[in-house]
Structure 1
C-alpha cells in the first residue's frame, strides 16, 4: 500500500493488550449498523446468508470440508472486529475495510472456500458477541491471554465464558523516533533523562513508568489522550520518542509524511500473541482456521500480507492454539 501523503493519519489510540485502555472513541465515530463484506478471491460457492439452514454447499477450496456444516451452508465466516486500529483493521480513504486482519481474512477464505464478513463493533463487546452467536470469530488485534481463555477479569474472577484463540501474530511495544534517529535511541535505557511522548492510560505508559524506576536520570513523560498528539511532540522536537504498539508504530513510520517523519528503532518489547478468537464450543471451526492459517504460512500468502504492511517482525512460523499466557 502506498503512503498517503498530505492526508491525516487514522486516529490510532491505545493498546489492545489487557492492561491498556480499550480503543472505543474512533470505533464509535465510524460505527456501521450493517456488515461490510470482504470478497474472497478463490474458488468458492455461496454469497453469504445466515448460518445453520439449508444443505451444505460444495467448494473446490482445499479446506472447505473441514468447516462446520452451518458455515458451509452460509458461505461466510462472520467476523467481529473493532475496525478502528490502523494498520490492523481500519477504514481507508474510500471507507473500505483495510489492514492486516482483512487481508489475512481474504487469504484464509481462499483456503476455506467461504467469505470472511467483517462487522464493526466496540472492542469490549466482541467476546460477548462471539459467545452469543453474533460472530463466528473475532479478528481485532486481540491479545491471547489466559484470562480471556478462561473468561476471567483482572482479579481472576469468572465474568463470562472463555474463548479459544488461534494465534497468528506477535506484537509488543516499539519506540518511534524522528527519521534518522538524531538522538541515537536504541532501547528503553536510552530514554533515561529524555522526554518521551505517549498515549495516556495505555500499557505503553506503564512501560515508560516501569523503565523510569530503573533510570538514574528520570524520563520526562508527556501523556496525551491521543497518540497523534504524542507523535506531534516527536515531530516538532519536544520529545525524542513515542512508545506505541509495534504494528501501529510501524504504520506511522511508513505513512506519516510519506515515510519521512519517523522510524522504528530497537526490538519489540514484551511481545505477545494476537489471536483469532473462536467459541470454545466450536472446536471444528477453530481447527479449520488453524489449518487454513498454517496453509497460508506455508504457501507464502501470510508473508506477503505482512510485507505489504511492513510488519514482518511480528510473523509466526506456525499457527498455535491458546499460546497466550
Structure 2
C-alpha cells in the first residue's frame, strides 16, 4: 500500500508501495504455514525445556523486557495484511513478523491505522515500527514531503524485505482502452491516499495535454475498490500483489481485470525511527536469519508472491 519513479514512489518519487513480480497471487489467506518450525534454541534445565531466542540479546533492553514490538499497519491491504473471516490479522507481513519474532524472542503486535498516519505514529512513539507494504524511498528516509519537497520530519530508516511494483485495474470487460498511465488522461481513477499509486496519478495528471486525471482517494484500498465496482470511476491502482489479489478474489474473479504492465519496482521496507539503530539492526539480523533458514521463502511461496522475494535484508535500499 503503497505511496514517481518508484513504486508506493512516483514518476516523481513516491509514498506507499506496496513488485515487479510476475505470477498470480495465491488465494491462501486461510492456509496454515507448514514446515516453519520454531528456530529458537532449546536447552534442558532441571528436566524442563527452556526456549531461548537466538537474537534476543540484540534487541534494545526496553523492548526485550516488554517482549513486544508494536507495529503500526494499515490492516486492509490483502494479501499483505488483512483481517480474515475470524477477525485475525493475517497476510505476508504478519507471517514474516511472526517468524522474526521467534528469532528475537518477542511478539509483534499489529495495531491498525490509516496508511498516511503510520510514520507520524512512529515519530510520536505510538509504534516501535511501521510494517505495511511501505515503499522505501529517499524522501521517506529524509523526512521530505513528496508534494512540497519540504522537510517535515526527521525521516526513518528502512529494513527492506520485499520488492513490489504498481498496477492499474478496471472493471472486468470494460478497460476503456486503458493500458498505460497516459491513457488515464481525461478519466477518473480511485486510489488509496498517500500511496505510490496516489503519487503517480498526481504526477501523470500534470503531464496530461487533453484533460487531467480525476483522482479520488480513500483511507484504504478496499474503499477504492468498492467505488470502482459501483461504477464510480474508470480505473483503480495499487501495488501489484494487492491489485492481483483483488482481481482474483473480488466477486469470485468477476469484478476486475489487470490492464497494462506493472511499473515502478521498488522495495517494501520496515520503518524504524532514526534514533533507534539497535532495533533496526536487530530486525535486519532477524530477517537475514529467516531468509537463511528457509522460513522466509516458505512464507513468500505460501502467498504466491515469490517473484518479489529478496535474497538478503538491506537498510535504506530505496531510491
| Structure-2 separation of matches of 1:148 and 1:281 | 15
Instruction: Determine if contact 1:250/1:311 at 8 Å carries over to the other structure.
Output: no
Instruction: Determine if contact 1:63/1:292 at 8 Å carries over to the other structure.
Output: yes
Report the counterpart of residue 89 of structure 1 in structure 2: 81
Deviation string 1:92-130 (CA, Å, 9 cap, x unpaired) is 222221222111111111222211111223333322332
Change in 2 beyond 3 A, CA 1:134/1:254: same
The structure 2 residue matched to 1:228, chosen from 207, 211, 226, is: 226
Measure how far apart 1:132 and its partner are.
Answer: 3.1
| Structure-2 separation of matches of 1:156 and 1:222 | 23
1:259-298 equivalences under 5 Å are: 259=253, 262=256, 264=258, 267-298=261-292
Instruction: Determine if contact 1:67/1:288 at 8 Å carries over to the other structure.
Output: yes
| Structure-2 separation of matches of 1:197 and 1:303 | 38
| Structure-2 separation of matches of 1:230 and 1:186 | 14
The structure 1 residue matched to 2:98, chosen from 100, 106, 127, is: 106
| Structure-2 separation of matches of 1:177 and 1:163 | 34
| Structure-2 separation of matches of 1:65 and 1:87 | 32
Report the counterpart of residue 221 of structure 2 in structure 1: none
Instruction: Determine if contact 1:68/1:284 at 8 Å carries over to the other structure.
Output: yes
| Structure-1 separation of matches of 2:211 and 2:299 | 36
Report the counterpart of residue 157 of structure 2 in structure 1: 164
Instruction: Determine if contact 2:156/2:273 at 8 Å carries over to the other structure.
Output: yes
| Structure-2 separation of matches of 1:169 and 1:127 | 19
The structure 1 residue matched to 2:190, chosen from 179, 187, 199, is: 199
| Structure-2 separation of matches of 1:171 and 1:299 | 23
Task: Give the TM-score taking structure 2 as reference length.
Answer: 0.70
Report the counterpart of residue 53 of structure 1 in structure 2: none
Q: Name the count of aligned residue pairs.
A: 273
| Structure-2 separation of matches of 1:224 and 1:153 | 20
1:8-27 equivalences under 5 Å are: 15-16=2-3, 17=8
Instruction: Determine if contact 1:188/1:211 at 8 Å carries over to the other structure.
Output: no
| Structure-1 separation of matches of 2:214 and 2:298 | 37
| Structure-2 separation of matches of 1:162 and 1:223 | 27
| Structure-1 separation of matches of 2:213 and 2:228 | 10
Instruction: Determine if contact 1:204/1:244 at 8 Å carries over to the other structure.
Output: no
Deviation string 1:275-312 (CA, Å, 9 cap, x unpaired) is 10112222121111111112222233222222233322
Instruction: Determine if contact 1:72/1:114 at 8 Å carries over to the other structure.
Output: yes
Higher RCO, Cα 8 Å, sep 6+: 2
The structure 2 residue matched to 1:252, chosen from 231, 243, 246, is: 246
